[in-house]
Amino acid sequence: MLALALAMTASIMTKVQADEKLVRIGMLRPGSPPDPFVDTFRQALQELGYTEGRNLSIEIRWAEGRDERLPELAAELVRLKVDVIVAGGGPPLLAARQASATIPIVMPVTNDPVRLGVAASLARPGGNVTGLAGLDEGLPGKWVELLKETFPKVSRVAILWDPAYGQSNVATAELAARSRGMRLQVLRVSRPEDFEVAFVEARKNRAEALIVLSSAFFYARRTQLVALAAKHRLPTIYHQKAFVVDSGGLMSYGPDFHDLFRRAAGYVDKILKGAKPGDLPIEQPTKFELVINLRTAKDLGLTIPPAIMLRADEVIR
């Protein structure tokens, strides 16, 4: 009897699994594995009841820091007929949107989806794109402010800018720098070979600190960027903690990207259950983190003021 009951249970479970629809999610990522945000996204989906190999398949395409690969990778996901595409940041998002105007697209993070032309408004996106706006337009001003508070004598700041992410962040940083009596040097970088040239140019113009603006391209090359900042001994602030925690950068301030990817999984779940992306309001970050690496500060011969240390959400000692 026990053997019969076990056999019946196994038969029922097999039928349930066979009847359960397999959903396919495509992810377009700017960098290379390993990627902690993909891991966070996977975990969030699992908590929502999705299991890879049972009712879920995730197709990930990696641009490996080369934005020119994004259009073909996005087209590949469309050919696979995925149910949803997850793409964050300007170039990956635009590549996904250009590849399909019908497949739902969820963005875990992007600067300004309305300015990019992928959403009519944050409240009612109206098309096939929704998710998290991700980055506050006021953040560049905050980065300038934090640099000045941490290093009061700094008067010349360089700013590393990826033109694929628009001009608004640069304008905000310039305004904040002028209001604090600081001179800002804008360094345009769009190719890996531009990095070394930009740092040399910053030093030639006597930059005393550096701001690295948000960019999926910069994130994909974060180890190279942090190494160059150390080589040229430039105190640098980044837009997310991975530059500091994983790559050894000095300091970062920005949204909690793990939280954004967890919330992106919630959007995917709603869409798979029938919601239309154009009806789902685009949300903004609610958690921001200041992270400081004291080991890097020591290597650069810098002292972080106690007031800044007290405000830090995470300190690497």
What span, in angstroms and rounded, lies between the C-alpha atoms of 311 and 102?
44
pLDDT at position 235: 97
pLDDT at position 27: 98
* 3-class DSSP state of 3: helix
Cα→Cα distances 135→8, 15, 110, 113, 287, Å: 53, 45, 6, 10, 11
Cβ atoms of 122 and 212 within 8 Å: the answer is: no
- The residues facing 292 across adjacent strands are 251, 315
From first to last of its 317 residues, what are the pLDDT tens digits of the chain? 444 444 444 444 444 444 578 999 999 998 899 899 999 999 999 999 999 999 999 999 999 988 899 999 999 999 999 999 999 888 899 999 999 999 999 999 887 889 889 999 999 999 999 999 866 678 889 999 999 999 999 999 999 998 877 677 888 899 999 999 999 999 999 888 899 999 999 999 999 999 999 888 898 899 999 999 999 999 999 999 999 999 999 999 999 999 999 999 999 999 999 999 999 999 999 889 999 999 999 999 999 999 999 999 999 99
Complete domains list, the chain, with CATH: 18-135+257-279 (3.40.50.2300), 139-255+288-316 (3.40.50.2300)
pLDDT at position 12: 41
CA angle at 184 for the pair 178 and 188, rounded to the nearest 5°: 140
Task: Name the E strands within the chain.
Answer: 23-29, 56-62, 84-87, 105-107, 129-131, 156-161, 183-188, 209-212, 236-238, 251-255, 288-293, 314-316
Cβ atoms of 130 and 266 within 8 Å: the answer is: no
pLDDT at position 185: 94
End-to-end CA distance of the chain: 62
pLDDT at position 89: 80
pLDDT at position 115: 84
This prediction has a pTM of 0.84
- Helix (H) / strand (E) element for 316: namely strand 314-316
pLDDT at position 2: 40
- Helix (H) / strand (E) element for 186: namely strand 183-188
